[in-house]
Amino acid sequence: MKLIELRHLRKQFIAGDVMVDALKDVSLTVERGAFTAIMGASGSGKTTLMNIIGCLDTPTSGTYILNGMDVSTMDDDQLSAVRNKTIGFVFQNFFLLHYATVLENVLLPTLYVDTLRHDLKDKAMEMLQIVGLKDRALFKPRQLSGGQQQRTAIARALINDPDLIICDEPTGQLDSNTASEIMKILTKLNEKGKTIIVVTHDANIAAYAGSTIVIKDGLIEGG
């Protein structure tokens, strides 16, 4: 079953006076439950592609079907709701709120959920258990190692039960041992049914994925 389907996607930017074609006619599908790596050099268009898949940006033309919904025609509010429900993000720089505790950071996406749940704290603790940080719930991010901060970010990405987890260079700030720990957690999540997309330029990281999409000059290579 398809989770993601991109048809003839184009994205143009205006950089100064020049029109830049960041994505030129990209079509691809990602099956539900897949573990996919997106590789490419900087300037290849992989970040633009990730932003569109992550509903942080909209295509200039073309169609994007996510989880059966046409998200390419949605407005900003609808896209926010889709990100909240369907997508979890993990970034290279973790992007945790330094003044909030680990637990509060994990709870952040629940602030923007329509329906009120009363067991949110238990749920957040469960997510911290999955990433092995239950005993650090009341720590501040600055008291944690890089790997622990990234595991906090993964727990935050999981809290709203998204179908898709998008990781942008998730190990870029980590040493190789920690990097493999993080990738093992992602692999385990994939085994439990989460669809995972990892954007990276590192072939060792891409090797964890079941399939790899290589992007170059705004086009999918071999696509």
Binding site for other proteins (CB under 8 A): 47, 51, 54, 56-57, 76-77, 80-81, 83-85, 89, 91-93, 95, 97, 99-100, 104, 107-114, 116, 118, 120, 156, 160, 168-169, 172
Could you give the CA distance from residue 3 to residue 108 in angstroms, rounded to a whole number? 25
What does the DSSP assignment read for 198-215? EEES-HHHHTTSSEEEEE
CB of 84 to other proteins, least distance (A): 2
Which residue's CB is nearer to other proteins, number 1 or number 75?
75
Residue 145: alpha-carbon gap to chain centroid: 21
Which of 23, 31 has the CB closer to other proteins? 23
Question: At closest approach, how far in Å is the CB of 126 from other proteins?
Answer: 18
Q: How far is the CB of 90 from other proteins (least distance, A)?
A: 10
As measured in angstroms, the least distance from the Cβ of 177 to other proteins is 21
DSSP assignment of 35-96 equals EEEEE--TTSSHHHHHHHHTTSS--SEEEEEETTEEGGG--HHHHHHHHHHHEEEE-TT---
Of residues 120 and 219, the one with the C-beta less far from other proteins: 120
Q: Are 186 and 170 in contact (CB under 8 A)?
A: yes
**Residues found in the chain:** 223
- Least separation in angstroms between residue 88's CB and other proteins is 8
Rounded to the nearest 5°, which phi and psi values hold at 216?
A: -145, 130
What are φ and ψ of residue 189, in 5° steps? -65, -40
φ, ψ for residue 44, nearest 5 deg: -75, -20
Question: Where do runs of H (alpha helix) occur along 58-175?
Answer: 76-86, 102-107, 120-130, 146-158
Query: Does an H or E element contain 89, and which?
Result: strand 87-90
Q: Minimum Å distance from CB 189 to other proteins?
A: 17
Nearer to other proteins, 28 or 113 (CB): 113
Of 17 and 76, nearer to other proteins (C-beta) is 76
* 112 versus 188: smaller Cβ distance to other proteins: 112
